[in-house]
Amino acid sequence: MVDLWTISEASFEPRRLRHNETVFTVGNGYLGTRGAFEEAYPGDQRTTFVHGVFDNLPIFFSELVNFPDWLELEIILAGEHFDLAEGKLLSFERHLDLRNGLLTRTLRWRSPAGRTTRMEFRRFASLADVHAACLQATLTPEDYSGKIEFRSGLDGGTDNLSFKHWDWLGQGTEDQTCWLHLRTHSSQIEAAMAVRLQVESGAAVATENWDVHAHPTLACSTDAEPGQTVRLEKIVSIFTGRDTQDPLSAARKKLASLTGRNWDALWREHAKAWKEEWRRCDVVIEGDDEAQLAIRFNIYHLLIAGPRYDEHVNIGAKTLSGYGYRGHAFWDTEIFMLPFFTFTRPEIARNLLSYRYHNLPGAREKAAENGFKGAQYPWESAGDGREVTPTWVPNPNDRTRMIRIWTGDIEIHISADIAFAAWQYWTASHDEEFLVERGAEIILETARFWASRAEWNQKRGDYEFKDVIGPDEYHDHVDNNAYTNLMARWHLRLARSIVDWLKEHHPAKAARLFEKIDLKEDNLERWQQIADHIYRPVNPKTGLIEQFEGYFKRKDVSLESLEPRNESAQSLFGIDGANEVQIIKQPDVAMLMYLLPGELEPAYAKVNYDYYTERTDLTFGSSLGPSIQAIMATRLGTPGQAYENFIRAARADLEDVRGNAGDGIHGASAGGLWQAVVFGFGGLQISDEGWTLTPKLPAHWKRLAFKFVWRGEEVKVDLKGEDGAGH
């Protein structure tokens, strides 16, 4: 029987090293550690990221910092170094148990001198105590006796793809423990880690402490006979200056408190915490093993990225699992990942939205710098919520030339996306405290930005947003992108209704907030006036929306004519060339229809869906595309397209369909996949009045079951049958 909870690798394929490091990431919403091996392997990325620990760097402004390597474990078997690049690998398996985030690697290795050893490695990052992680190595010599040596500690020499961020502050070793204290170079965030090593063997164990600079190490050795097992356990604690004033004491204290509690004790608490996560978040799909495993895999990655105890961090586009986008957060969080949290783990959703609240000052600063009012959220956001989109990046095909990146300047829809997410969270949770204390300020300050960014077109008598980039980034510097315009219109109207609601339900707090942000009645009138006159590019005869002004005049190239290909339309045409044709990178009009179904007459939905589907680069464009396409296809009754795109999203990281999964998990695709199942096939839709369910299951699905939280109550959905009628 297929195990629908385990991601497995049946043999070692060095060419998939980076991809599998991403897939086998372990984490707990505080830290994420890529699935590099304990022993080093050429080309590996031995990476641990901790939420919120950013440091400056050229071009990209800021990036998550790679922590000291806690996985490192050098193994010497009767004088020979264990190394997968040498000797012979007789068997190899790796398994990630999604139920509890346990990563296990089992192998048999014959050394160059012909000695065979059976080994098992296990690791987890504790979900019960996010400052703790554990690693275990069990070795059994099969055909030799000799000395087994381990060298392991904390390697502070780690870098971020060659860039070093750490300054050394101190270190030490004591008995079977060692610790390391560092500080990031520019952002001045301290970090401390401490480890304890314990070796169990039938023979005596000798331990030495090596106080190597920036690499405190414990060296243990013991003797083993054939068939005799030696086990090493490494327990790690980790704190940063973001958690506490004195991370070093905290890390050492934590380690001391874990003394006497071995792997088993820590494991039990950890596994219990995971059990509760899955009780709340699991999605059951019967009749489609690939879909079942993929949805659990993607939920696992969302859960290990979701900050449970920190409301000053967000989730980067590649979660905590790789260097892609340097840990920066985009609209990927609010529009793609957040719904999963809002509907299953609202506490995490609240933390993520609170990050945006705390970063309102950065957004106000950005608006002011650009000559606007209110708050303009950055397209890419890191530690303090300032804009960190690189302005110029090296051209990958010609390193001597630079490419200008415009998204940070003009991809402004993110401010409405964040307001949308705040509204969605409020609607689903009715968390009044959040809305009153935080959400309202986000929504109102960003509405004020829209009002000041809108330009009056005297000739047409409407308001416009000129020189923007919509979700489809193949086209930049466009005027009146439909998504941007209509999201802004919805946002301005939402702001008005939030003001009315606040006045009615919390008059005193409302008055304080309006004073704080200097909101007057005439602001509201102006917002209303703008919303009522925003340019809405719908052809009254056909119902077709023009994605932006002049889009229909661009050359209409069929996607089919580009086949066969294994690259995006943009890399085939070049940046300027792609701007000239109608092919789009990801759903744009369809995205609008998905988020705001009420903004367009229902009769016009299909014509738009059909028109843009033919022109969307779903195979090689953005990984954000397929899940949304799947949802819209489900809603508009094209089941074949729905499933095809659902599977595309399901495979994004498991099968590395874009060839860049090594850079980290595509967090938006993971969140989009959950939405495709719940909002697409499950047919869940929400409004102020409540929720409705219009399921449309793929024909071969026998059952779809999931839970969601609606205003504090858990709702269980259990759909059966070919098209899921009834629940």
Binding of ligand BGC at residue 585 (CB under 6 A)? Answer: yes
Interface map 418-447 toward ligand BGC (x if CB under 6 A): ------------------------------
Smallest gap, in angstroms, from Cβ of residue 28 to ligand BGC?
Answer: 23
- Pick the catalytic residue from 432, 473, 521, 546: 473
Is the preceding omega at residue 564 within 30 degrees of 0, hence cis? yes
Per-residue tokens: 159: 């870098």
Distance from C-alpha of 371 to C-alpha of 718, rounded to nearest angstrom: 52
Q: Based on CB atoms, which residue is closest to ligand BGC, 97 or 473?
A: 473
Binding of ligand BGC at residue 473 (CB under 6 A)? Answer: yes
Binding of ligand BGC at residue 382 (CB under 6 A)? Answer: no
Out of 622, 627, 641, 660, the only residue in the binding site for ligand BGC (CB under 6 A) is 622
Smallest gap, in angstroms, from Cβ of residue 616 to ligand BGC?
Answer: 12
Binding of ligand BGC at residue 330 (CB under 6 A)? Answer: yes
Smallest gap, in angstroms, from Cβ of residue 393 to ligand BGC?
Answer: 13
Distance from C-alpha of 327 to C-alpha of 317, rounded to nearest angstrom: 7
Distance from C-alpha of 298 to C-alpha of 336, rounded to nearest angstrom: 12
Smallest gap, in angstroms, from Cβ of residue 330 to ligand BGC?
Answer: 4
Contacts of 497 (CB under 8 A, 6+ apart): none
Stretch that binds ligand BGC, among 251-259, 326-334, 449-457, 462-470 (CB under 6 A): 326-334
Q: Based on CB atoms, which residue is closest to ligand BGC, 152 or 415?
A: 415
Q: How far is CA 380 from CA 155, 302, 377, 389, 465, in A?
A: 30, 19, 9, 5, 20
CA neighbours closer than 13 Å in the CB half-sphere of residue 458? 0
Stretch that binds ligand BGC, among 254-262, 327-335, 594-602, 609-617 (CB under 6 A): 327-335
Per-residue tokens: 433: 């405290």
Q: Based on CB atoms, which residue is closest to ligand BGC, 585 or 615?
A: 585
CA neighbours closer than 13 Å in the CB half-sphere of residue 188? 1
What is the DSSP annotation of 143-195? S--EEEEEEEE-BTT--BTTB--EEEEEEEEETTEEEEEEEETTT--EEEEEE
Distance from C-alpha of 170 to C-alpha of 392, rounded to nearest angstrom: 37
Owner of token pair 């829209």 = 450
Q: Based on CB atoms, which residue is closest to ligand BGC, 34 or 475?
A: 475
Q: Which of residues 149-178 bind ligand BGC (CB under 6 A)?
A: none
Smallest gap, in angstroms, from Cβ of residue 666 to ligand BGC?
Answer: 7
Binding of ligand BGC at residue 148 (CB under 6 A)? Answer: no
Distance from C-alpha of 276 to C-alpha of 641, rounded to nearest angstrom: 35
Stretch that binds ligand BGC, among 118-126, 325-333, 366-374, 502-510 (CB under 6 A): 325-333
Binding of ligand BGC at residue 624 (CB under 6 A)? Answer: yes
Per-residue tokens: 724: 């899921």
Q: Which of residues 637-656 bind ligand BGC (CB under 6 A)?
A: none
Binding of ligand BGC at residue 331 (CB under 6 A)? Answer: yes
Binding of ligand BGC at residue 332 (CB under 6 A)? Answer: yes
Binding of ligand BGC at residue 405 (CB under 6 A)? Answer: no
Query: How would you class 78 by CB atoms within 10 Å of its CB: exposed for 0-12, middle for 13-18, buried for 19 or more?
Result: middle
Q: Which long-range contacts (CB under 8 A, 24 or more apart) does 392-399 make?
A: 392/59, 393/59
Q: Based on CB atoms, which residue is closest to ligand BGC, 109 or 483?
A: 483
Could you tell me where the beta strands, DSSP code E, fall in 213-355? 215-224, 230-240, 283-286
Binding of ligand BGC at residue 591 (CB under 6 A)? Answer: no
Q: Based on CB atoms, which residue is closest to ligand BGC, 273 or 670?
A: 670
Smallest gap, in angstroms, from Cβ of residue 597 to ligand BGC?
Answer: 21
Binding of ligand BGC at residue 115 (CB under 6 A)? Answer: no
Stretch that binds ligand BGC, among 54-62, 246-254, 323-331, 415-423 (CB under 6 A): 323-331
Q: Based on CB atoms, which residue is closest to ligand BGC, 127 or 363?
A: 363
Q: Based on CB atoms, which residue is closest to ligand BGC, 576 or 713?
A: 576
Q: How far is CA 579 from CA 91, 545, 556, 564, 629, in A?
A: 51, 18, 12, 21, 22
Told to judge if 233 belongs to the known catalytic residues of this protein, a careful annotator would answer: no
How many residues belong to the site for ligand BGC (CB under 6 A)?
12
Distance from C-alpha of 63 to C-alpha of 320, rounded to nearest angstrom: 11
Distance from C-alpha of 725 to C-alpha of 694, rounded to nearest angstrom: 8
DSSP-derived 3-state class of residue 508: helix
**How would you list the strands of the sheet with 26-27, edge to edge?**
26-27, 31-33, 48-50
Whether the Cβ atoms of residue 356 and residue 418 lie closer than 8 Å to each other: yes
Smallest gap, in angstroms, from Cβ of residue 296 to ligand BGC?
Answer: 22
**How would you list the strands of the sheet with 205-212, edge to edge?**
80-81, 74-77, 146-153, 215-224, 205-212
- In eight-state DSSP terms, residue 234 is E
Smallest gap, in angstroms, from Cβ of residue 407 to ligand BGC?
Answer: 8
Out of 75, 668, 717, 719, the only residue in the binding site for ligand BGC (CB under 6 A) is 668
Residue type at position 90: L
Binding of ligand BGC at residue 334 (CB under 6 A)? Answer: no
Per-residue tokens: 172: 């030490």
Smallest gap, in angstroms, from Cβ of residue 304 to ligand BGC?
Answer: 18
Stretch that binds ligand BGC, among 182-190, 199-207, 228-236, 329-337 (CB under 6 A): 329-337
Out of 281, 317, 338, 487, the only residue in the binding site for ligand BGC (CB under 6 A) is 317
Contacts of 638 (CB under 8 A, 6+ apart): 609
Smallest gap, in angstroms, from Cβ of residue 317 to ligand BGC?
Answer: 4
Per CB under 6 A, residues contacting ligand BGC are 317, 325, 330-332, 471, 473, 585-586, 622, 624, 668
Active site residues: 473
